[in-house]
Structure 1
Amino acid sequence: MSIKATMIVDKDFKIGEVDKRIYGSFVEHLGRAVYGGIYEKDHSTADPQGFRGDVLELVKGLDVPIVRYPGGNFVSGYNWEDGVGPVEQRPSRLELAWRTIEPNWVGLNEFMDWCKKANTEAMMAVNLGTRGPAEARDLIEYANHPSGTLFSDLRRKHGYEQPHAIKTWCLGNEMDGPWQIGAKTAVEYGRIANETAKVMRWVDPTIELVACGSSSLHMPSFPEWEATVLDLTYDNVDFISLHQYYGNPSNDSANFLALSLGMDSFINTVISTADYVQAKKRSKKKINLSFDEWNVWFHSNEADRKLDPWQIAPPQLEDIYNHEDALVVGCMLISLLKRADRVKMACIAQLVNVIAPIMTANGGAAWKQTIYYPYMHASLFGRGTALVPLIQSPKYDAKDYTDVPYLESVAVHNEEKGEVTIFAVNRNLEESLGLEVDLRSFGGCTLIEHIVLENDDLKAANTLEAPDRVKPHTNGNARVDGSKIEASLSKASWNVVRVKLG
């Protein structure tokens, strides 16, 4: 073994508590995310409401704590009233964000039913593109107020006696983007977001609110957008959002695996901007981050350009993910954990079919994409306290980043279970990487398992015909001696090393 990395983990060197909601996801009325994804009434596994049972089982396997809904770009032209009441009376609409037809077979109440079945909560977005404070007020009254008013009683008339008690709300979506219906300047958005936040809190003071940050770190207005928006909304919001997608259109795998360094920088810049506004306002309140769209997205771009408009649930944004995509998703998950002190919510975009860990065939099977596995491992084993990783690793230079560490890693201490989990990606495409982890402050420990996701073909993908071509195994070679872990991480691999303390 020619190269080695070391890592020291101390239980007192804490990044912060991991909010389970960083393992959230996203279901937008886009492509086959809803129709043909979570909902397909004629499917052999469908329940009486039309929700696919096979998809529900795969979602439950991820232990998803929160799901953002109904958009996304979709929400900026959406009338929530279209999706409630008797289904046969709901209108079909031209959906301008994605140029499809929205039949409104699934709306707020059905989605909340699905959330219960999936053991998750909703992160609801309000339309601040074509609508504003009045419609947001009506929606939260419908969703959260007990009874005795126009919209709360309308919900009861629709068969939902008890309020949905939705806690988390997004104030619009990507309002800085020229592609967005009703796009706004930072001042225009900040003003309407603040007024919307006020009336929503007056209806339900218990809610949390997310203001729109920049649509990506590449927006020309970033981070001035965040500074202006927070200056106008600071007292009435709890989170600022971040969105970022990565791709490998030039087929430069070494550079692709380095892109999460940009995610680290993005997070740190937004934290710095939020803290600047806090200082400017002399406020004791700290704004946290909601990274409510993140993933790899580029494979489907060419196919999407060829789709005919005005279809119901066409196959849009259906990236088929390969092994290297899973490694990048693993690096992005580690980036979120490395700032668990401030990133308190995040949503992999999306959950089913649309740039998603789960794929389905209409009328057929559902299967796990390659990115399902690091997402699942982080969600299942990344609960507890994120610890500062003191890493020494050999590095390489890529096209966009220099001094890229071959080892990308973080540790999470679950005190309740008496476990420490090491998440690690070896970015080296040619060689294995020796790893030594020093858990000196924890005393003795024993190995629970060493999970490895590896494949000799970076482009290997899971498909309907070969759903298990890329999947993890538990035959990793990690060894534990007292408080030391030693392992050899295969080239281009995702690793989960779990140890029991004591």
Structure 2
Amino acid sequence: MTHDGPARVTLCTEFDRGPIEPRLFGSFVEHMGRCVYEGIYQPDHPTAGEHGFRHDVEELISALGVRLVRYPGGNFVSGYRWEDGVGPRSERPSTFELAWRSIESNQVGTDEFLGWAERNQLEPMMAVNLGTRGAEAAAALVEYCNTATPTRYSDWRRRNGRSDPYDVRLWCLGNEMDGEWQLGHVDAKAYARRALAAGHAMKQVDPSIELVVSGSSNREMASYGSWDQTVLDTTWDIADQLSIHAYYDGRQPEPDFLGSGYAMGRYLDEVIALADGVAARHRSDKRIKVAFDEWNVWSSRPTETTTRDEVRARPAIAEDRYQSLDAVVLGDLLVSLINHSDRIGVACLSLLVNVSAPIVTRPDGSVFRQTTFHPMAATARLARGRSLQTRIDGPTVTSRRYGDLPGLGCAATTDGSATSVFLVNRTTSALPVEIKIIDRPDTAVGSAMTLVADHIVLEPSTPETGGPQLLSGVEARDGVVHGRLPPRSWSVISLSNEKEDQ
């Protein structure tokens, strides 16, 4: 750390990147482990409603601030026949699910998910299988979901109890098709042709839908960059967004893990520049947005209760137990998302329940919030209005993986009357900070909270701890907000214009 004095954040509410859209606070439900069954859906649970979904889980999803949910995968979708999950439940087959080597009962499918999303005011983001299937099945699913005119698949939807179309706007053309682990994996040219054919067919059914093409599964892929360019070049006329994924591993050295938010920012900058380069080659004013439709941290204490030799329903896999350090890093990842909100079309925390999730259901029927729940919930609640540009003058820290990087991460938003400043101290020392809003000299402090990486780990058998605490000592003097950030912490300070409040 090579900085003397307090870190300084300067911003002006007139200089913004654009609006904070609800789609920035999405999540992901996949038929993986206990995410669906014993997660959102459990008909025999005391809180389950008439449709079989757990109300106690729904209440926490609402508190988490999620506004969009991607479904049904993920790796799962590349072997999925959506037709197996519609119609009378008694007639639905149990199938061998190949991605996670489990038994899929198909008791939750398209109608159940879309009905659940509608009741909970969640925008659905549907994925189609381009691993083992193609254009015909994809177009048929759009017809099933979105067509009002009597047709083969819209009539099937009506017979299944849904008269009105679901009007699903956002569709993913496959999932992680660059990965050798993916069913139906192909090279970039083959996937691009497959996606183009499916996209054309889907838009023939409903020209108003938005299409997300599969970009690189992660930045470490050997084909990273070249894959994305090939896919965008080929699908330019039908693509609206490019999907990317990133998971940040808590088992790496702590300075590297604390640099995850900085690394995500670099990753987004690269992908945006790549997409704009393709636009230039096409001499196009079109700007592709990034669908960051899988992102999260991996716990340093993952649990795995199923071996690859077992095949059973609802295997408890990847049920990570998160430390408070994971929550700090997740808050930093949210900072990067806010700072790129003008080019992010959607962002999905992966996953929503049980599988590397902020919400976990216990064997005794209760449910609890992991440490990572709290920065997501606070950010979704407080990041309103528009994302502001910020100037930061502060210390640097050194990471073996990323080199020198800023010791302070920061994002800010304003809705005109209130401004929220999100701060991450990546250093191992307390960090004095000064915040100046140059066009709001009468700034007053509304509230301040912090999460500190003190190695708290929540277990299902213990009461919840590890939520945000009051950040004391934050005050406004002479037009500057002064505070002191604990080491290895995520904080948010809410400010208001004093004159407007009077």
In the alignment, structure 1 residue 138 sits paired with structure 2 residue 126: no
1:336-359 Cα deviation digits (max 9, x unpaired): 111111012100000000111101
Residue of structure 1 in register with 2:485 after alignment: 489
- Partner Cα separation in structure 1 for residue 366 and residue 285 of structure 2: 51
In the alignment, structure 1 residue 230 sits paired with structure 2 residue 232: yes
1:308 deviation in Å? 4.7
Superposition pairs of residues 155-194 of structure 1, within 5 angstroms: 155-194=157-196
For structure 2, list consecutive stretches of 5 or more residues without a partner in the other structure: none
Equivalent residue letter for 1:156: R
1:67-118 Cα deviation digits (max 9, x unpaired): 0000000000000001101111100110100100100010011111211232
- Partner Cα separation in structure 1 for residue 303 and residue 486 of structure 2: 33
Question: Is 2:299–2:322's contact at 8 Å kept on the other side of the alignment?
Answer: no
Find 1:85's aligned residue among 63, 84, 87. Answer: 87
Residue of structure 2 in register with 1:152 after alignment: 154
Question: Is 2:325–2:452's contact at 8 Å kept on the other side of the alignment?
Answer: no
Identity among equivalent positions (%) equals 41
Residue of structure 2 in register with 1:255 after alignment: 256
- Partner Cα separation in structure 2 for residue 148 and residue 43 of structure 1: 38
**For structure 1, which segment, 437-446 or 105-114, has the greater mean C-alpha deviation from structure 2 after superposition?**
437-446
**For structure 1, which segment, 297-306 or 33-42, has the greater mean C-alpha deviation from structure 2 after superposition?**
297-306
- Partner Cα separation in structure 2 for residue 300 and residue 95 of structure 1: 26
Residue of structure 2 in register with 1:438 after alignment: 436
Cα separation, partners in 2 of 1:4 and 1:443, compared to 1, 3 Å: closer
Equivalent residue letter for 1:421: S
Question: Is 1:18–1:344's contact at 8 Å kept on the other side of the alignment?
Answer: no
In the alignment, structure 1 residue 401 sits paired with structure 2 residue 405: no
Question: Is 1:365–1:464's contact at 8 Å kept on the other side of the alignment?
Answer: no
1:262 deviation in Å? 1.9
Question: Is 1:18–1:383's contact at 8 Å kept on the other side of the alignment?
Answer: yes
Superposition pairs of residues 227-306 of structure 1, within 5 angstroms: 227-250=229-252, 252-299=253-300, 303=304, 306=307
Residue of structure 2 in register with 1:376 after alignment: 377
Equivalent residue letter for 1:154: W
Question: Is 1:397–1:403's contact at 8 Å kept on the other side of the alignment?
Answer: yes
Question: Is 2:44–2:52's contact at 8 Å kept on the other side of the alignment?
Answer: yes
Cα separation, partners in 2 of 1:141 and 1:253, compared to 1, 3 Å: same
- Partner Cα separation in structure 1 for residue 71 and residue 175 of structure 2: 11
Superposition pairs of residues 12-91 of structure 1, within 5 angstroms: 12-91=14-93
- Partner Cα separation in structure 2 for residue 49 and residue 477 of structure 1: 49
Find 1:203's aligned residue among 205, 219, 230. Answer: 205
1:376-398 Cα deviation digits (max 9, x unpaired): 11111112111111001111111
If the length of structure 2 is used for normalisation, what is the TM-score? 0.96
Where 1:161 maps in the other structure, the secondary structure is coil
1:307 deviation in Å? 5.8
In the alignment, structure 1 residue 346 sits paired with structure 2 residue 347: yes
- Partner Cα separation in structure 2 for residue 226 and residue 378 of structure 1: 30
Cα separation, partners in 2 of 1:147 and 1:482, compared to 1, 3 Å: farther
Question: Is 1:64–1:119's contact at 8 Å kept on the other side of the alignment?
Answer: no
- Partner Cα separation in structure 2 for residue 258 and residue 50 of structure 1: 41
Question: Is 1:334–1:423's contact at 8 Å kept on the other side of the alignment?
Answer: yes
Question: Is 1:21–1:346's contact at 8 Å kept on the other side of the alignment?
Answer: yes
1:206 deviation in Å? 1.3
- Partner Cα separation in structure 1 for residue 221 and residue 184 of structure 2: 17
- Partner Cα separation in structure 2 for residue 301 and residue 498 of structure 1: 34
Question: Is 1:211–1:240's contact at 8 Å kept on the other side of the alignment?
Answer: yes
- Partner Cα separation in structure 2 for residue 101 and residue 477 of structure 1: 54
- Partner Cα separation in structure 2 for residue 238 and residue 191 of structure 1: 16
CA RMSD of aligned residues (A): 1.6
Find 1:450's aligned residue among 438, 448, 451. Answer: 448
Question: Is 1:300–1:319's contact at 8 Å kept on the other side of the alignment?
Answer: yes
Equivalent residue letter for 2:141: L
- Partner Cα separation in structure 2 for residue 81 and residue 214 of structure 1: 28
Equivalent residue letter for 2:427: N
Question: Is 1:16–1:341's contact at 8 Å kept on the other side of the alignment?
Answer: yes
- Partner Cα separation in structure 2 for residue 301 and residue 500 of structure 1: 41
- Partner Cα separation in structure 1 for residue 302 and residue 491 of structure 2: 30
Residue of structure 1 in register with 2:13 after alignment: 11
Question: Is 1:327–1:493's contact at 8 Å kept on the other side of the alignment?
Answer: yes
Find 2:116's aligned residue among 114, 121, 129. Answer: 114
Residue of structure 1 in register with 2:393 after alignment: 392
Find 1:499's aligned residue among 492, 495, 499. Answer: 495
- Partner Cα separation in structure 2 for residue 78 and residue 316 of structure 1: 19
1:298 deviation in Å? 4.9
- Partner Cα separation in structure 1 for residue 164 and residue 372 of structure 2: 37
- Partner Cα separation in structure 2 for residue 305 and residue 3 of structure 1: 52
Question: Is 1:75–1:125's contact at 8 Å kept on the other side of the alignment?
Answer: yes
Question: Is 1:368–1:467's contact at 8 Å kept on the other side of the alignment?
Answer: no
Question: Is 1:8–1:438's contact at 8 Å kept on the other side of the alignment?
Answer: yes
Find 2:461's aligned residue among 462, 465, 474. Answer: 465
Cα separation, partners in 2 of 1:475 and 1:273, compared to 1, 3 Å: closer
Where 1:11 maps in the other structure, the secondary structure is strand
1:44 deviation in Å? 1.3
- Partner Cα separation in structure 2 for residue 125 and residue 381 of structure 1: 30
- Partner Cα separation in structure 2 for residue 235 and residue 9 of structure 1: 38
Equivalent residue letter for 2:389: V
**For structure 1, which segment, 129-138 or 440-449, has the greater mean C-alpha deviation from structure 2 after superposition?**
440-449
Where 2:450 maps in the other structure, the secondary structure is strand
Count matched residues.
Answer: 496
Cα separation, partners in 2 of 1:309 and 1:3, compared to 1, 3 Å: farther
Question: Is 2:299–2:326's contact at 8 Å kept on the other side of the alignment?
Answer: no
Question: Is 1:373–1:472's contact at 8 Å kept on the other side of the alignment?
Answer: yes
If the length of structure 1 is used for normalisation, what is the TM-score? 0.96
Residue of structure 1 in register with 2:214 after alignment: 212
- Partner Cα separation in structure 2 for residue 303 and residue 28 of structure 1: 17
- Partner Cα separation in structure 2 for residue 128 and residue 88 of structure 1: 28
1:260 deviation in Å? 2.4
